Amino acid sequence: MAGLRPESLVLSDFSDQPMSVCGKAFRAHMSGALFWPAEDALIVADLHLEKGSHFAARGHMLPPYDTRETLHKLAEVIDAYDAASIIALGDSFHDAEALERMDEADRETLAIMLADREWIWITGNHDGEAGAALGGHVLDELVVEGITFRHEPAAGARTHEIAGHMHPAARLVMNGTALRRPCFVGNGLRLVLPAFGAYTGGLNIMDDAFLPVFGEEGLSVWMLGQEGVYPVAARLLRED
Amino acid sequence: MPVLPEPFAAWFAARGWTPRPHQLALLEASQQRRSTLLIAPTGAGKTLAGFLPSLVRLSEPGKRPRKGAGLRTLYISPLKALACDVARNLETPIAEMGLKIRTETRSADTTLARRQRQRRSPPDILLTTPEQVALLLSHPDAPFLFADLETVILDELHALAPSKRGDLLALDLARIQSLAPGHIRVGLSATVARPSELRAYLMAQTAPDVRADLAHVIEIQGGAKPDIKILEAEEGVPWSGHTARYAIGEIYEAIAAHRLSLVFVNTRMQAELLFQELWRVNGQNLPIALHHGSLAAPQRRKVESAMAAGQLKAVVATSTLDLGIDWGDVDLVIHVGAPKGASRLTQRIGRANHRLDEPSKAILVPGNRFELLECRAALQAAEAGAQDAVLSRSGALDVLAQHVLGMACQAPFDPDVLYDEVRTALPYASLTRAHFDRVISFVSTGGYALKAYERFAKLRPAEGGKLRVANARVAQQYRLNAGTIVDSPLIKVRLVSGGRRKSGAARTLQGGRMLGEVDEYFIEQLSPGTTFAFAGEVVRFEGLRDTEAFVSRTTAQDPMIPSYSGGKFPLSTHLAARVRAILSEPKSWRALPPPVAQWLLLQQRRSQLPGREDVLIETFARSQRHYLVAYPFEGRLVHQTLGMLLTRRLHRAGAQPLGFVANDYGLAVWGNGDISRLIADGRLGLAELFDEDMLGDDLDAWLAESSLMKRTFRMAAVIAGLIERRHPGKEKSGRQVTMSTDLIYDVLRRHDPGHILLEAAWADAATGLLDLARLGEFLARIKGRIRHQALERVSPLSVPILLEIGREQVFGAHEDVLRSAAQDLIEEATGA
């Protein structure tokens, strides 16, 4: 169980859990955000802001509250850690025109969030440089303390990497109950964050797409629940 | 009474038939252009009666309209198979009398070329389903197609009307009324408790606020009373279970002694299990077959034709054989398990012996003691000729949304005119203008409080205050998503050779003969290696790939079928009242088998019996667990909802509940807290515990996380067109749809709790999966009538309910599962 130190688990409170990537200590939060105490940085992946309106433009009138919901959740976790910097790991906006469709109130909320802290928009495949209009830095990649932050995990067996893009989810079957939840998935050397956005679905980590990233062995999985984030043994997980 | 005209009179005479009075009465009513409801038990030849007036009219030479005219008669059936069967049955008289009448069917299977031709050059008689009618009405050429329509025949109307499909059909009829004001409707129905509702359904409601317009009615009295017996097996009725394994010998003997038996059960899994059991004892090698909705269509067709050809001795079936089609000379119906409702049982028993003057013969086989009481109640109801009353419904708003879009696809519409038209449909007669406008706004922009989507509106203003569809894509979306049947995602089951290695097996699985389809939730519980009965054999689950499950043959004798998933039909209110009456009248117990009567006597001595109008609550401790058992007899759905809400409240009262279990008759909650003591000390009041206010905040809080509610919402979202229906070979698997509608549901509840789609889902839940309406009635009924009995030990009556423990989900399950998975990992890592 690389990357997991069981002795430090606090059973009464699952709201965040310690984990490490190449020896650096992080905390995985139940919201799907990752906190890096040493750098006072909060990392989130795949916000997909304005996904609802993207669908609406194509005739599916999904409730137009996803941006509000995602920003509200983000504000809560920023407050919880009082993070000085934010690293958004790409696909922060569902498409390049997302900002133009965004409600004025939501744009203001975003502006307030950006005002007080250092903000880094890593570019994703959906959003390009859409975040630039709001301020903050727009980067393809960011390296801090030897750890690379990028949107899509690089091909091959890499280490020292934290990424998003894949929307990992896990399916747990136990005691006759099956449930499927977004999850953090890592092997102690690299980590993929769950998608943070309100309308983001998930891809099962047993899917072939994860093979080139982590190989077959030694996966560590933290599933998101309503009241906490839970480390789960890979042997309990199933394909869809 | 009219006389049958030629060539009909000669044709009847040649067959040695005399027209029956109801056939002539219906002919007369049609000649007077009166819409009519024909109520008849099975076997009265009501389909022919329904078509006779149309055939007569279509054969009258002077009345043939101009060339290139539209449809003359439209026949609508709930089942496409029934429509095809009726079409075949019409061929004989039309051919033998040499009538120049073109008859065609239309379904999703009809080729595109044929469907297009049907719109250009319509047949005289079209036989189809409500969904196809909706699609025809959404085309710009609908006025041409329907303008000459004279007669609409609605078959199995009792089954169709009280459902969302019935809502859709009512809206379609309202539109047809506008296109062909002179047409009449003929409704064909089995015996129902309240004919006036179907009579009103058949008519355009002209003054919905004042009174209901009723169709003319012709009722054929039932023939001979059915001969129904409850099977008394040598072994006696067991405490629990639904499979009637104990009576398999007697069932087999009954099959052997009859020509053709239909063996009805309540679920597909029960059908599989019973089929296995019958073959296990099938020493004479009798041809016994299996028929249920999960089986691949070719296999079902094979069984049907074998039945018709008289090659079978028995068929084990679920509700797939309930309706309509006659496949052979059935002389015995065996009903295994609880009948659930008086009307449903009558319908099923009617499948035996399709001659009115001879009694249908049926044997009821209860699976357990409660089911025996239910069988007694059903028998009494059948003797009294009583039917379950179906609650009148108000039309679903998601269906209305679909209809509005369909009408916009046909032509630009004036909302004022459409509102008036919609209100002529009985289910929508009391629809308020405000609701109608909200539905229009939903169709156009989603109808959200936050007006974010005006610029993406699907409906745009057109000349004269009308609304039109924004572009061609909207119409395309409508046609792909029309219909009100939203099945839970189905997984195809394919047979492959076994013996694969465990790791990565699913990745190499492919091909294999398709055995049928199962609900996704069933497959979800399986891990590779699990065996289950399917398509009449025991198979081993190998793995899942995309939307296909792969299984292999196995030599295992006993399939590891997981939990009994319950029937779709809860115990009807009518039968529940009769069961309570039996329990409260010890005199009536003499008719029960001795072990069952003794069971009730023991209950009377040790505790109390539930009364007719009250509810009995027992509390006791057993193996350090404390139990509360309630006996509402309101059906599984109500008890499940009640169980969820009671657990919440007991949790708040400090009773530390751990779980609950529910069946059709009652529910048991267990926990660590001493419930008897809490009540004795006055710290827990049963009146407060069962107060109606549980339908407020507690219900609301539970609904936020209820998977049943989310499923209900998903169905409404698909029907209303918020999200796309899944199509074969097209993107999204069912799971991804479930996923995204759950997210939408959560977001909508938080940000727009008054949204019309939540209102629609709530209304569904009230009558559907959560049965809130019935729960509300129950809570009101027992106010001040709760009888509590604290006991030293388990009561006899509670045993069948407690035996179901372990088959149900427990309180707070999901978070607990995650916690125990985490605990499991900790133990693994720390070597504990």
pLDDT tens-digit map of B339-356: 888 887 887 887 776 565
pLDDT tens digits, B718-743: 899 988 776 544 444 434 434 468 88
Q: How confident is the model at residue A107 (pLDDT cuts 50, 70, 90)?
A: very high
Average the pLDDT over B235-257 and give the result: 86
Question: What is the per-residue burial (b if ≥16 Cβ within 10 Å, else e) of B379-394?
Answer: bbbbeeebbbebeebe
pLDDT at A9 over 50: no
Q: How many CA atoms lie within 13 A of B19 on its CB side?
A: 23
Average the pLDDT over B806-817 and give the result: 55
Q: What ipTM was predicted for this assembly?
A: 0.86
B32-41, B502-511, B748-757 — which is least confidently predicted? B502-511
Token representation of residue B695: 């339908």
Q: Give the separation between CA B134 and CA B132, rounded to whole angstroms.
A: 5
pLDDT at A227 over 80: yes
Are A65 and B821 in contact (CB < 8 Å)?
Answer: no
Determine if residue A121 is left, alpha or beta; phi over 0 gives left, psi from -120 to 50 gives alpha, anything else beta: beta
Provide the mean pLDDT of chain B: 84
pLDDT at B651 over 80: yes
The alpha-carbon gap from A63 to the nearest alpha carbon of chain B, in Å, equals 6
pLDDT at B820 over 50: yes
CA distances from A150 to A22, A29, A138, B492, B605 (A): 16, 19, 12, 39, 74
pLDDT tens digits, B129-146: 999 999 999 999 999 999
Question: What is the per-residue burial (b if ≥16 Cβ within 10 Å, else e) of B606-636?
Answer: bbbbbeeebbbbbbbbeeeebbbbbbbbbbb
Q: Give the separation between CA B291 and CA B289, rounded to whole angstroms.
A: 7
Chain centroid offset of residue A173 CA? 23
Question: What is the per-residue burial (b if ≥16 Cβ within 10 Å, else e) of B719-748?
Answer: bbbbbbbbeeeeebebbbbbbbbbbbbbbb
pLDDT at B518 over 80: no
Window 17-56 of A, Cβ < 8 Å to B: 53, 56
The alpha-carbon gap from B555 to the nearest alpha carbon of chain A, in Å, equals 25
Q: Which CATH number fits domain A14-238: 3.60.21, 2.60.40, 3.30.70, 1.10.3470?
A: 3.60.21
Average the pLDDT over B698-702 and give the result: 78
The alpha-carbon gap from B558 to the nearest alpha carbon of chain A, in Å, equals 19
**CATH number for the segment(s) B20-219:** 3.40.50.300
Q: Give yes or no for A211 touching B (CB within 8 A).
A: no
Residue A204, φ and ψ in degrees, nearest 5:
-60, 130
Q: The whole model's pTM is what?
A: 0.82
Q: What is the 3-state secondary structure (H, E, C) of A147-211?
A: EEEECCCCCCCCCCEEECCCCEEEEEEECCEEEEEEEEEECCCEEECCECCCCCCCEECCCHHHH
Q: What percent of chain A has pLDDT over 70?
A: 94
Are B452 and A103 in contact (CB < 8 Å)?
Answer: yes
Helices (H), chain A: 51-56, 66-81, 98-101, 104-115, 211-214
pLDDT at A171 over 50: yes
Q: Give yes or no for A239 touching B (CB within 8 A).
A: yes
Are B825 and A6 in contact (CB < 8 Å)?
Answer: yes
Closest by Cβ to B740, choosing from A199, A230, A240: A199
pLDDT at A131 over 90: no
pLDDT at A3 over 70: no
CATH 3.40.50.300 intervals, chain B: 20-219, 227-384
Contacts with A180 from chain B: Cβ below 8 Å: 735, 739
pLDDT tens digits, A53-97: 999 998 889 999 999 999 999 999 999 999 999 999 999 999 999
Q: Give yes or no for A199 touching B (CB within 8 A).
A: yes
Closest CA to A127 of A152, A162, A144: A152
Are B474 and A59 in contact (CB < 8 Å)?
Answer: yes
Q: Which of B352-356, B390-394, B645-649, B794-798 has the highest mean pLDDT?
A: B794-798
Average the pLDDT over B63-80 and give the result: 79
DSSP code string of B552-579: EE---SS---------SSPPPHHHHHHH
Residue B555 has a pLDDT of 74
The alpha-carbon gap from B798 to the nearest alpha carbon of chain A, in Å, equals 24
Q: Give the separation between CA A161 and CA B616, rounded to whole angstroms.
A: 63
DSSP code string of B497-519: -----STTHHHH----EEEEEEE
The alpha-carbon gap from A163 to the nearest alpha carbon of chain B, in Å, equals 23
Pairwise pLDDT comparison (B276 vs A9), residue with the higher score: B276
pLDDT at A4 over 50: no
Map residue B31 onto helix, strand or coil: helix
- Given CATH 3.40.50.300, say whether it is the number of domain B227-384: yes
Window 144-173 of A, Cβ < 8 Å to B: 172-173
Contacts with A63 from chain B: Cβ below 8 Å: 446, 448, 744, 747-748, 751-752, 755
CB pairs under 8 A between A and B: 150
pLDDT tens digits, B566-578: 345 667 888 888 8
Residue B62 has a pLDDT of 65
Residue B703 has a pLDDT of 73
Contacts with B480 from chain A: Cβ below 8 Å: none
Average the pLDDT over B453-463 and give the result: 93
Q: How confident is the model at residue B830 (pLDDT cuts 50, 70, 90)?
A: low
Q: Prior bond to B7 cis, omega within 30?
A: yes
